[in-house]
C-alpha cells in the first residue's frame, strides 16, 4: 500500500468515526444545555468526556496502529499516575503533537482539557465540542491594548479560575503547549531564542493554571516530543511517512511555591520564570541527546 493510499484511507476513517461519535455527542451536549441542573450536568460531563477522551481517542489510535508504521519510543512512563489532577507541559512543533500525546497516554491520564483560542469556536463540529467539554476559552489581546487597559489581564485570571472550577468534581489533565505556538526556525530567529530546538517558554499561562488550580493539582508532567528527521504534518502522519517518534516524560513535583500571583508579584514572577527556563534548558539538552543517540544508531546500521 502506497503512502498516498494509506493517507486517503486514514482520512476517510477519521471522517467516519468522528461523524458517528459526534452525532451521539450532539445529543448529550444539547441535553446538558437544556437541563442545567448541577446533578445532570455532572453526569453529562462524564459521558461527554468519556466519548472524547476514550471513544474518539481509541478509534484514532486503532486507525494509526492498523495503517501506519510509526514506531514510538517512550521514556519515563513510570512517572505517570492515573486518576490524579495533572498539568501536562509540552513543546509544540506540529498538529501531530496532539495525536502523539493522546496515543502515548491513552488510558493512563484523566480526560484532557486545554486552552483554546476564541476563534476556534467557529470551526464546524469542533466549536460545539469545545463548549460542551468546558474547554477554557481564551481571548488573546494585543500587547498594546493590554498596556492601555491592565484590567484585561484580570479577565484572563477570572476566565481561568472559572474554567478550573468546572474541573473540580473529578480529575482532569490540563494540556499546555508552553511555547504558545508551533516551533519553526524562523520563529526561533525572530524571538532570539537561546535554545537550539525550542522557542522561549511563555510563563504567564502556565503560572495562571497553577494559580487557578491551587492545591488540587497532584502531578506535573514535562513531556518532550521529538521527531527525528523532518517534523511531520498531519498528512505526513496519515500517510505513514513519520517512521520514528520519541517521547520523553519527566515527572515534576507540584510544589506550593509554584502557585502565586504571577502578574502582581514581581519576586514570584522572577522565581517562576527561572523555574520554567531551567526546565526548558534541560528539555533542549534532552532533545540534543536523543537526536544524537538516534543519528548514532542510524550510522551504526
Query: Which among 84, 97, 244 is positioned nearest to 174, based on CA atoms?
Result: 84
Report the side by side order of strands in the sheet with 86-90. Answer: 71-75, 244-252, 219-226, 86-90, 173-177, 112-114
Tell me the C-alpha distance between 88 and 105, whole Å: 11
Q: pLDDT of 192-232, one tens digit each? A: 999 999 999 988 888 888 887 777 888 999 999 999 988 99
Q: pLDDT of 63-122, one tens digit each? A: 999 988 899 999 998 878 777 889 999 999 999 999 999 999 999 998 888 777 777 777
Tell me the C-alpha distance between 200 and 281, whole Å: 10
The separation between CA 163 and the C-alpha centre of its own chain, rounded to angstroms, equals 16
The grid cell for 105 is 497516554
Percent of the chain with pLDDT over 90: 50
Confidence of residue 7 (pLDDT cuts 50, 70, 90): very high
Report CA-CA distances (Å) from 84 to 43, 58, 119, 128: 19, 21, 30, 27
Q: pLDDT of 121-169, one tens digit each? A: 777 788 888 888 888 776 655 556 656 666 655 566 666 667 677 677 7
Q: What is the reported pLDDT for 248?
A: 96
CATH number of 71-300: 1.10.3860, 3.30.70, 3.30.870, 3.40.1130?
A: 3.40.1130
The grid cell for 236 is 505526513
Tell me the C-alpha distance between 46 and 43, whole Å: 5
pTM of the model: 0.88
Domain boundaries, the chain: 71-300
Amino acid at each position: 500500500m502506497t503512502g498516498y493510499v494509506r493517507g486517503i484511507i486514514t482520512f476517510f476513517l477519521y471522517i467516519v468515526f468522528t461523524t458517528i461519535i459526534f452525532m451521539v455527542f450532539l445529543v448529550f451536549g444539547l441535553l446538558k444545555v437544556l437541563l442545567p441542573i448541577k446533578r445532570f450536568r455532572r453526569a453529562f460531563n462524564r459521558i461527554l468526556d468519556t466519548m472524547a477522551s476514550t471513544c474518539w481517542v481509541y478509534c484514532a489510535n486503532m486507525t494509526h496502529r492498523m495503517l501506519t508504521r510509526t514506531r514510538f519510543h517512550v521514556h519515563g512512563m513510570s512517572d505517570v499516575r492515573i486518576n490524579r489532577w495533572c498539568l501536562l507541559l509540552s513543546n509544540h512543533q506540529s498538529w501531530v503533537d496532539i495525536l502523539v500525546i493522546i496515543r502515548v497516554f491513552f488510558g493512563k491520564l484523566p480526560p484532557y482539557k486545554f486552552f483554546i483560542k476564541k476563534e476556534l469556536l467557529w470551526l464546524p463540529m469542533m466549536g460545539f465540542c469545545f463548549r460542551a467539554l468546558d474547554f477554557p476559552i481564551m481571548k488573546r489581546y494585543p500587547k498594546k491594548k493590554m498596556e492601555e487597559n491592565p484590567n484585561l489581564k484580570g479577565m484572563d485570571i477570572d476566565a481561568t479560575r472559572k474554567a478550573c472550577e468546572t474541573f473540580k468534581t473529578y480529575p482532569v489533565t490540563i494540556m499546555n503547549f508552553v511555547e504558545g505556538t508551533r516551533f519553526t526556525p524562523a520563529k526561533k530567529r525572530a524571538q532570539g531564542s537561546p535554545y537550539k530546538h525550542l522557542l522561549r517558554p511563555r510563563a504567564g499561562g502556565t503560572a495562571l493554571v497553577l494559580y487557578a488550580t491551587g492545591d488540587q493539582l497532584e502531578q506535573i508532567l514535562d513531556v518532550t516530543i521529538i521527531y527525528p528527521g523532518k517534523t511531520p504534518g498531519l498528512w505526513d502522519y496519515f500517510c505513514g511517512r513519520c517512521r520514528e517518534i520519541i517521547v520523553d516524560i519527566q515527572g515534576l513535583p507540584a510544589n506550593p511555591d509554584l502557585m502565586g500571583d504571577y502578574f502582581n508579584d514581581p519576586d514570584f514572577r522572577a522565581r517562576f520564570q527561572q523555574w520554567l527556563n531551567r526546565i526548558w534548558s534541560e528539555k533542549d539538552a534532552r532533545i540534543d541527546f536523543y537526536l544524537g543517540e538516534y543519528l548514532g544508531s542510524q550510522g551504526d546500521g
